[in-house]
């Protein structure tokens, strides 16, 4: 039995009042990462449309997360960061952006920020697959890593 | 001068009254606070006379405060119940008179500065349900300890001058207190700095002292980390460890134990009251099995000591660990009972303190405080157990009834009087722990999310829980200062927080 780790004010704010949470009807794409056996599961819903310049962009985003306070806060922050971004820009986000937006994450919670970025990448991967969009090598690699991780966790 | 029972009961009843939505009858409060209604009636009549309380008539009538709680001082309440005076016992005008006058004026000042809403603030804003992790020190224990920090007790208890002897006497008196509680000889009690140290001493000390007989040790699968990690380390030193499985209630498998005691088995270590799920083992039976087979039996009684009667002779215990800070004593002191004639090697070598088992200057005030805490706890054990069992069962019943998809972990029957451990499906324990912390409610979780390992609790895994269930567990542990109104506050907050987190979860 262990006690709470030290959370920043921002983490507590997002934990208390998470942004963009809940499920979405008819999402364009879905990304789910994590495993209940490890205590963290994140699911991201994306609504993707074209912007004026004809680029794919994230018009709406929602999350559902079962996990610790950091997992909930990182999910909430990643939806803020990705909303209204083009998919190209959204793919440039990394876990440092998530940590920065939360001011601070304790060491043992860094994996929550990685998980949030993984969920976003997976949702975009899912969209590209559906639309037969070309998938960059780095995104394919990320997807393979996430899939391997989850299979390993499952067994 | 100390507050008498009358004042204590009066303040408790008033705090309860403030927590009620409207006026309240004497019988309701007497029931909730476990104060006899006749006695409480007398207290309320006095408080009414003094203008602290008033009576509302009619069907929904009863007692209520005459003014806002922030307008009523403790001094007013106590003065109306008894004379809050710290006066010189002597009638003559000696030098001490002025000292007493100063104390009296300080005393009045303090009581005047505290109002009734302070009382309820501390009740509602800080609600502690983590007594199994550590307990606050009992004020009586603290005041017993304080003189032992004085110059006159500052000698080393192994020195032969008067200063040393005074300390030594205090330590020996403490040893006698423990020996009476455990039915041992005083010289069989060794003082250490923590339960972790006691457990390490037994595991490693018995292993190294008896390695010629054998290198096999049995421990239960639900031991505290300090036993598990000691055993794991012993493995690296060539010892063989077998874990005794437990059933879904957390009770050890006796058949497995009997079958797995071998000629080279030197020690069996089974935790008495489990720290996470509160299961109490049948140590009488385990002790008998070990005794019959000629194997040492150690039990870690950190959680059960002074909650469950232990008789080291009847229970055939060779080694027993107990800790001070779990029983309202100071942190940094614990004991190890070692049956005389047992073969054990010390961890700490040096001046040969504690019968050569634990070299280190003994910390007199801590030992004295520990003994006082044990004495208080033993004196009120039966009464406190029945009070806590009632509160515990009330909490369990209401959580399971009011919140769907919740499960009690551990045995309903063989359970520490203060332990409640519940799994809340589809929720991660740490997030619920934090939600409650934001309301000032302190609980503990078996979730790994707040630990470095990310592995779920080995105890919950051992009773057959899937990792996702183990991650969703919360331990509520009650104690001496837990009241029914605190539990009601928890029960008021809990369902909303659980459903909020469930709404966030992708699993419905």
The candidate with the shortest Cα–Cα distance to A137, out of A81, A98, A91, is A91
Rounded average pLDDT over B398-415: 97
Evaluate if residue A155 carries a pLDDT over 60: no
With CB atoms and an 8 Å threshold, state whether B468 touches A37.
yes
At A139, list the tokens: 């995104």
Confidence of residue B426 (pLDDT cuts 50, 70, 90): very high
With CB atoms and an 8 Å threshold, state whether B454 touches A5.
no
With CB atoms and an 8 Å threshold, state whether A66 touches B507.
yes
pLDDT at residue number B2: 55
Residue B508 and residue B505: Cα distance in Å, rounded? 7
A108 vs B contacts (CB less than 8 Å): 450-452
Alpha helix stretches (DSSP H) within B184-331? 195-209, 225-236, 254-260, 283-293
With CB atoms and an 8 Å threshold, state whether B475 touches A1.
yes
Evaluate if residue A138 carries a pLDDT over 60: yes
Evaluate if residue B122 carries a pLDDT over 60: no
What percentage of chain B has pLDDT greater than the value 90? 68
Of B427, B428, B450, which is closest to A5 when you measure between CB atoms? B450
Evaluate if residue B87 carries a pLDDT over 90: no
At B93, list the tokens: 């005008």
Distance from CA of B473 to the nearest CA of A (A): 10
pLDDT at residue number B9: 87
Rounded average pLDDT over B87-102: 71
Residue B160: CB atoms within 10 A of its CB come to: 10
pLDDT at residue number A44: 97
Evaluate if residue B419 carries a pLDDT over 80: yes
- For residue B321, CA distances in Å to A120, B174, B200, B359 come to 51, 16, 10, 18
With CB atoms and an 8 Å threshold, state whether B438 touches A12.
yes
Confidence of residue B96 (pLDDT cuts 50, 70, 90): confident
Rounded average pLDDT over B446-467: 78
> What confidence tens digit (pLDDT) does each residue in A108-118 have?
889 899 999 99
Beta-carbon contacts of B208 under 8 Å, excluding residues fewer than 6 positions away, are B345
What percentage of chain B has pLDDT greater than the value 70? 94
Question: Minimal Cα distance from A68: which residue of B?
Answer: B431
Question: Minimal Cα distance from A11: which residue of B?
Answer: B434
Residue B411 and residue B463: Cα distance in Å, rounded? 10
Give Cα B107 to chain centroid, integer Å: 30
With CB atoms and an 8 Å threshold, state whether B456 touches A39.
yes
pLDDT at residue number A1: 33
Evaluate if residue B7 carries a pLDDT over 70: yes
> What confidence tens digit (pLDDT) does each residue in A13-72 have?
999 999 999 999 999 999 999 988 778 899 999 999 999 999 999 999 999 999 999 999
pLDDT at residue number B408: 97
Q: Does A132 touch chain B (CB under 8 A)?
A: no
> What own/partner pairs with CB < 8 Å and gap ≥ 24 does B149-154 have?
B149/B365, B153/B364, B153/B365
With CB atoms and an 8 Å threshold, state whether A39 touches B433.
no
What count of CB pairs under 8 Å joins A to B?
A: 100
Evaluate if residue A150 carries a pLDDT over 70: no
Question: Minimal Cα distance from A31: which residue of B?
Answer: B506
Query: How is residue B179 annotated by DSSP?
Result: H
> What own/partner pairs with CB < 8 Å and gap ≥ 24 does A110-113 have?
A111/B454, A112/A40, A112/A67, A112/A68, A112/A70, A112/A71, A112/A73, A112/A74, A113/A70, A113/A74
At B475, list the tokens: 């331990």
Confidence of residue A151 (pLDDT cuts 50, 70, 90): low
pLDDT at residue number B97: 75
pLDDT at residue number A153: 47
A4 vs B contacts (CB less than 8 Å): 430, 433-434, 437, 450
A111 vs B contacts (CB less than 8 Å): 454
Evaluate if residue B453 carries a pLDDT over 80: no
The pLDDT mean for chain B works out to: 91
Residue B217 and residue B317: Cα distance in Å, rounded? 16
With CB atoms and an 8 Å threshold, state whether B507 touches A4.
no
pLDDT at residue number B449: 56
A8 vs B contacts (CB less than 8 Å): none
Confidence of residue B125 (pLDDT cuts 50, 70, 90): low
Active-site amino acid positions of A = 38, 112
Of B438, B444, B448, which is closest to A39 when you measure between CB atoms? B448
Q: Does A40 touch chain B (CB under 8 A)?
A: yes
Q: Does A148 touch chain B (CB under 8 A)?
A: no
CB B58 within 8 A of CB B104: no
Distance from CA of A67 to the nearest CA of B (A): 5
Alpha helix stretches (DSSP H) within B146-250? 162-182, 195-209, 225-236
Which residues sit opposite A66 in a β-bridge?
A: A41
With CB atoms and an 8 Å threshold, state whether B468 touches A12.
no
The candidate with the shortest Cα–Cα distance to A22, out of A65, A84, A78, is A65
The pLDDT mean for chain A works out to: 90
**Mutate which of B425, B430, B442 to test chain A, going by most A C-beta atoms within 10 A?**
B430
pLDDT at residue number B77: 87
Of A2, A4, A21, which is closest to B504 when you measure between CB atoms? A21
Distance from CA of A50 to the nearest CA of B (A): 28
Rounded average pLDDT over B483-508: 95
A32 vs B contacts (CB less than 8 Å): 506
> What confidence tens digit (pLDDT) does each residue in B230-258 have?
999 999 999 999 999 999 999 999 999 99
Of B434, B456, B475, which is closest to A69 when you measure between CB atoms? B434
Whole-prediction pTM: 0.80
Active-site amino acid positions of B = 449
Evaluate if residue A152 carries a pLDDT over 60: no
Confidence of residue B394 (pLDDT cuts 50, 70, 90): very high
With CB atoms and an 8 Å threshold, state whether A2 touches B504.
no
Of B426, B450, B466, which is closest to A68 when you measure between CB atoms? B450
């Amino acid at each position: 039995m262990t006690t709470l780790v030290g959370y920043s004010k921002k983490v507590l704010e997002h934990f208390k009042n998470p942004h963009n949470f809940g499920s979405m009807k008819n999402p364009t794409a879905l990304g789910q990462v994590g495993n209940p056996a490890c205590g963290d599961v994140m699911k991201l819903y994306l609504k993707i449309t074209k912007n004026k310049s004809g680029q794919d962009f994230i018009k709406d985003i929602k999350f559902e997360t079962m996990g610790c306070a950091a997992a909930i806060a990182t999910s909430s922050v990643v939806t803020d960061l990705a909303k209204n971004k083009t998919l190209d820009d959204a793919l440039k986000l990394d876990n440092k952006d998530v940590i920065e937006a939360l001011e601070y994450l304790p060491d043992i919670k860094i994996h929550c920020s990685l998980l949030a970025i993984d969920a976003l990448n997976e949702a975009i991967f899912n969209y590209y697959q559906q639309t037969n969009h070309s998938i960059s090598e780095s995104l394919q690699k990320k997807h393979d890593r996430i899939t391997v991780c989850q299979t390993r966790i499952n067994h | 001068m100390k507050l008498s029972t009358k004042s204590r009961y009066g303040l408790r009843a008033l705090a309860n009254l403030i927590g009620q939505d409207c006026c309240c009858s004497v019988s309701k409060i007497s029931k909730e606070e476990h104060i006899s209604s006749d006695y409480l009636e007398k207290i309320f009549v006095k408080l009414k006379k003094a203008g602290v309380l008033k009576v509302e008539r009619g069907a929904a009538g009863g007692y209520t405060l005459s003014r806002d709680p922030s307008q009523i001082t403790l001094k007013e309440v106590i003065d109306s119940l008894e004379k809050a005076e710290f006066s010189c016992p002597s009638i003559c005008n000696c030098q001490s008179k002025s000292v007493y006058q100063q104390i009296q004026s300080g005393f009045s000042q303090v009581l005047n500065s505290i109002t009734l809403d302070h009382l309820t603030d501390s009740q509602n804003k800080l609600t502690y349900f983590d007594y199994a992790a550590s307990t606050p020190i009992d004020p009586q224990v603290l005041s017993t300890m304080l003189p032992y920090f004085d110059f006159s007790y500052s000698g080393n208890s192994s020195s032969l001058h008067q200063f040393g002897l005074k300390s030594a006497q205090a330590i020996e008196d403490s040893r006698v207190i423990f020996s009476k509680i455990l039915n041992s000889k005083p010289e069989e009690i060794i003082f250490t700095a923590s339960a972790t140290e006691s457990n390490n001493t037994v595991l490693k000390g018995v292993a190294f002292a008896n390695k010629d007989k054998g290198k096999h040790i049995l421990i239960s699968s639900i031991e505290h980390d300090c036993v598990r990690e000691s055993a794991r380390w012993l493995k690296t030193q060539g010892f063989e460890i077998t874990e005794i499985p437990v059933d879904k209630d957390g009770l050890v498998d006796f058949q497995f134990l009997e079958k797995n005691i071998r000629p080279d088995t030197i020690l069996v270590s089974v935790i008495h009251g489990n720290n996470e799920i509160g299961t109490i083992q049948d140590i009488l039976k385990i002790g008998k099995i070990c005794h019959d087979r000629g194997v040492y039996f150690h039990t870690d009684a950190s959680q059960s000591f002074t909650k469950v009667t232990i008789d080291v002779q009847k229970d055939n215990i060779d080694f027993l660990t107990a800790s001070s800070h779990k029983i309202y004593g100071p942190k940094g002191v614990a004991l190890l009972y070692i049956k005389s004639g047992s073969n054990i090697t010390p961890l700490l070598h040096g001046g040969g303190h504690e019968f050569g088992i634990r070299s280190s200057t003994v910390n007199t005030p801590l030992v004295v405080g520990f003994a006082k805490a044990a004495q208080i706890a033993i004196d009120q054990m039966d009464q406190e157990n029945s009070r806590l069992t009632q509160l515990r069962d009330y909490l369990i019943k209401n959580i399971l009834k009011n919140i769907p998809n919740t499960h009690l972990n551990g045995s309903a029957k063989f359970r520490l009087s203060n332990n409640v451990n519940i799994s809340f499906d589809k929720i991660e324990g740490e997030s619920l722990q934090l939600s409650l912390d934001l309301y000032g409610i302190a609980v503990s979780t078996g979730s790994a999310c707040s630990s470095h390992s990310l592995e779920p609790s080995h105890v919950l895994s051992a009773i057959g829980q899937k990792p996702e269930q183990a991650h969703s567990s919360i331990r509520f542990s009650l104690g001496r200062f837990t009241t029914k109104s605190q539990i009601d506050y928890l029960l008021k907050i809990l369902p909303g927080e659980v459903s909020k987190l469930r709404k966030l979860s992708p699993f419905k």
